[in-house]
Amino acid sequence: MAVNKRRFIKDKVSYSCSMPGVWKAVAHSEGCVVVYHAPKACAHITEEMERNQYFRMLARREYTNPPYTAPLITSNIAKKESIFGGSQLLKKCLDYVVATYKPRYIVVTDSCVAGVIGDDSAAVCQEAEQEYGIPVLHVDCHGFLDGEYYGGFISAAKLLIDRFMAKKELPNVTSDQPYKVTLIGEKDGPGSMAIQQFCALIEDFGLEIYKAFPGYCSIEDMQKIGESDFTVILGGTQKAYAYLREIADYMNEKLGISHFASDYPIGWEGTRRWLDDFSVFLQNFKSDAKNHKIEIEAIKANVWRRFEEGFEPFKKTLQEASIVLSLGYINPNYDLSWVLEWIHLGNLSLAKVVILDNVPETQQAMYRTMVQRFYPETTIVLETADTVLPKDALIITTQELAEPFLRQLILPCLPPIGMAGLVQMYRKLFMLARRRGERGIVLYGW
C-alpha cells in the first residue's frame, strides 16, 4: 500500500515575518490603519495569509464578516530608498493615510529593508503623532531580521496595553454579578468553533465574556479591559500558547489582571480536566459568595448533554460503519490518543489498525499501547507490499493514501477543541460514510 503524501512535522522553530503578526493584532480594531514601512510586495504575505484563512473558515462554515478590517498600506520602499533612506517616504505615506482614511490611530512597523537601511521610524511616528493629534504607534520589529509572526503580534499587543489600558480599582460587587472575562488570542475569530466552544465552557460557570484581545478591540474596548476580573488564554500550538501567555503575564504586570492558564480541553478526558482546573481557579480567585456555589458535576453533565445532542444525527450511520485507522509517522510530541477516545466515545466499530511502513519502532510501540487502551480486541498490522484496505471501510488516516477508491478522513495537525470539536469530526466522518459506490474521496479534518 503506497503512501502518496507523508507529512513530517519538525520541532525546529520556523522563522517567519513579524509584519503579518503586527497586522493581525489590530486587524479588526475599529478605526485603526496599519502601515508597513516596506516594499509593496511585503503586503502580499499578509494578503495571502488572510486569503488562506478566509477559505479555510468558509469551508468550515464558520466565517462571519468582521465589522471592521484595518486597511493595510505600504510606504513602497524601492531601490532609491535602500541607498538614501526612506524616512521621508514614510512621512509622506502617513500624510496620505491621515488624509484618506481619517484613522483613529495608526500602527507602523518596519520591514527587513527598513531595518537594514536603519531608518528611524520611531522618530517619524512621534513627529507625526504631534502633528496629527492621533496616536501613531511604532512597533519595533523588522520583518525577518529580529523575530517572527508571533514576535510582531506580541510587540503590538504590549504596545496597545501601554497606550490604551490603565489599571482600575473596581468597586465592591454583589455576589450575583458575574465575573467579566477577557480572552487573550483569537482562534480564527468570533465565528470559529474553537471560540464558541471556549465561550460555552466559560459561560457554563455563569461568567460574562467581555472581548477577545487584541484583534477585535476598539480603543474604548481596550480602555475598559482594566475592569476585567481575569483573562483566559486561547493558544494553539505550544509555541503560540507560550507567546499568548507572555501577553497575559504582561497584562497582569501592568494592570494586575490575573489569568487562567491550562492545556486545551481536548476530548472528554481533557474537557473534564479543564473544567476541574477552571473550577479550582475560580474557587481560589476570590474567597467570596460568588465562588463556593459552583456545581462542577452539573456543568460536566451539561457539556455531555450538548455532546450527545450534537452526535445524535450521525450516530446510527457511523455505528453501522466499518472503520480502519491508518497511522503514519508523526512528531513524537504529538499525542493521538484523542483519536482513539473520539472513536470510542461514539461506540464506533474499529475493524483494524494499520501502522504504515514509515513509522519507527518506538512510535509503533506507542501506537500499540494507545490502541490497546481503548480497543484491546482490534487487530493491529504493519504495512507490507500486500496490504490492501477494504473499499467499503471508512479510513481515518494521518497521511493521504494513494488508492483512488478509498474514503479517507485526514486527521488534523492540531486536535479539535472540546466536545464540540469531536462532534465536528463526527460530521466529517458522516459525510465520508454518505459517499456511495466505489468513488473515493479525501476529506480534511481541519
Closest CA to 32 of 118, 139, 111: 139
Distance CA 424, CA 46 (A): 29
Q: Which residues of the chain have pLDDT under 50?
A: 1-14, 289-291
Alpha helices, H only, 118-164: 121-132, 149-164
In sequence order, the β-bridge partners of residue 259 are: 231
Task: Give burial (CB, 10 Å; 0-12/13-18/19+) of 178.
Answer: middle
* C-alpha torsion 113→115→117→123, nearest 10: 120
Q: What's the pLDDT score for residue 117?
A: 82
Domain ranges in the chain are 19-164, 180-294, 308-444
Q: What is the pLDDT of residues 240-263, one digit of tens each?
A: 677 888 899 999 998 888 888 777
19-164: what fold? Rossmann fold (3.40.50)
308-444: what fold? Rossmann fold (3.40.50)
- Domain spanning 180-294, CATH architecture: 3-Layer(aba) Sandwich (3.40)
Distance CA 144, CA 114 (A): 11
Say what the pTM is. 0.81
Q: What's the pLDDT score for residue 118?
A: 82
In 52-130, which ranges are E strands?
Answer: 72-74, 105-110
Q: What is the pLDDT of residues 404-430, one digit of tens each?
A: 788 888 888 778 888 988 998 999 999
